[in-house]
């Protein structure tokens, strides 16, 4: 296969001074993209500032690539996009990767722990993407990657703030993938698991050694490429393996036996095992399909009731 290249493309990678972001920036830089290496350079909990990004820029340049450092906080993401425009005149790829942790059990979690995590992950991605969006729309091209986490999708003890923000990013990607589609803007989400300073005390040591960010970078780079086919996908990757995650919706059940019956707490309880039965669950592509499906099921329920003289239990006809 021909090498997938990014010549002529400008990529912004937030939080690219270390960990996963660094691996993404190096790979994109080695394939012809001009890269804005953003990093605030704080500690793992977001405190402090330094110029981590410089070393990554140097590494890209030493290998013949083009890159510029940016030290802005993603909370002021518009300034990061301005760095891309001021230096390279355009923006094509935005990888929202910057992140910090403030893990605590929910009882001990302060409002500051909550606010800071929402600000860096969720508002940071909003600010940066919002500033890039006008360029993407005008040029009818854009590739955005959000960074979620299995902690958001499945929950994880001590990460209520982080889980909320990380699943919020999936919601953001879901809607932006719809709004951007007609402008050839694709918005997808990576769910990485890799060795970094965020996971050094979480992953077992032998796994930590093996889980190199370099193994995820090709997945993210492909997701940022013009030939990437998907839009609105959640891609989970680690250890040279990738899979797709998505929500499924069960078949559901009516909460009464006949249309004329009332819905009561007891009828809800009576039907609950059918409500939560996930046999035959399907992924729903768009919100309209949820409404169409519900209307269809209710019509079936009513029609069946009329035919049977409103005497039978109809849930099985759904």
Q: Which residue numbers are catalytic?
A: 162
Contact, 19 vs 237, CB < 8 A?
A: no
Give me 52's structure tokens: 């981590």
CA 233/CA 223 separation, integer angstroms: 10
Touching ligand NAI, residues 159-218 (CB under 6 A): 192-194, 196-199
Minimum distance from CB of 234 to ligand NAI (Å)? 12
CA 11/CA 29 separation, integer angstroms: 9
Contact, 68 vs 116, CB < 8 A?
A: no
Q: Which residue is nearest to ligand NAI (CB)?
A: 19
Interface map 67-106 toward ligand NAI (x if CB under 6 A): ------xxx---------------------xxxx------
Touching ligand NAI, residues 238-277 (CB under 6 A): none
Could you say whether residue 39 binds ligand NAI (CB under 6 A)? yes
Minimum distance from CB of 4 to ligand NAI (Å)? 22
Could you say whether residue 234 binds ligand NAI (CB under 6 A)? no
Using CB under 6 A as the binding criterion, the count of chain residues that bind ligand NAI stands at 33
Give me 283's structure tokens: 């992924």
Could you say whether residue 142 binds ligand NAI (CB under 6 A)? no
Residue closer to ligand NAI by CB (options 123, 258) is 123
Could you say whether residue 156 binds ligand NAI (CB under 6 A)? no
Exposed e or buried b per residue across 81-113, where buried means at least 16 C-beta atoms within 10 angstroms of its C-beta: bbbbeeebeebbbbbbbbbbbbbeeeeebeeeb
CA 40/CA 98 separation, integer angstroms: 9
Contact, 96 vs 145, CB < 8 A?
A: yes
Which residues of the shown chain bind ligand NAI in the complex (CB under 6 A)?
A: 14-15, 17-21, 38-42, 44, 46, 52, 73-75, 97-100, 120, 124, 147, 149, 192-194, 196-199
């Amino acid at each position: 296969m021909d090498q997938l290249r990014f010549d002529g493309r400008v990529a912004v990678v937030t939080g690219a001074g270390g960990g996963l972001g660094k691996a993404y920036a190096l790979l994109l830089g080695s394939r012809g993209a001009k890269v804005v290496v953003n990093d605030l350079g704080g500690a793992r909990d977001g405190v402090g500032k330094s110029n981590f990004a410089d070393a990554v820029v140097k590494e890209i340049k030493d290998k013949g690539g083009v890159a510029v450092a940016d030290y802005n906080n993603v909370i002021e993401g518009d300034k990061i996009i301005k760095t891309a425009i001021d230096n390279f005149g355009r923006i094509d790829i935005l990888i929202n990767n910057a992140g910090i942790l403030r893990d605590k059990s929910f009882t001990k979690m302060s409002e500051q722990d909550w606010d800071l995590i929402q600000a860096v992950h969720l508002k940071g991605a909003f600010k940066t993407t919002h500033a890039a969006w006008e360029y993407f729309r005008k040029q009818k091209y854009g590739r955005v990657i959000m960074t979620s986490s299995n902690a958001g999708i499945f929950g994880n003890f001590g990460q209520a703030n982080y889980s909320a923000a990380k699943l919020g990013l999936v919601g953001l990607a879901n809607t932006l993938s719809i709004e951007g589609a007609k402008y050839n803007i694709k918005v997808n989400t990576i769910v990485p698991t890799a060795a970094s300073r965020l996971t050094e005390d979480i992953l077992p040591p032998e796994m930590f050694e093996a889980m190199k960010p370099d193994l995820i970078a090709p997945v993210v780079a492909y997701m940022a490429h013009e030939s990437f086919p998907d839009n609105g996908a959640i891609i989970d990757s680690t250890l040279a393996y990738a899979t797709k995650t998505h929500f499924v919706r069960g078949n559901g059940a009516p909460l009464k036996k006949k249309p004329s019956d009332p819905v009561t707490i007891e009828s809800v309880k009576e039907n609950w095992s059918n409500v939560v039965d996930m046999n035959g669950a399907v992924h729903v592509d768009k919100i309209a399909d949820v409404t169409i499906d519900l209307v269809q099921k209710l019509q079936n329920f009513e029609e069946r009731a009329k035919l049977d003289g409103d005497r039978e239990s109809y849930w099985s006809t759904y």
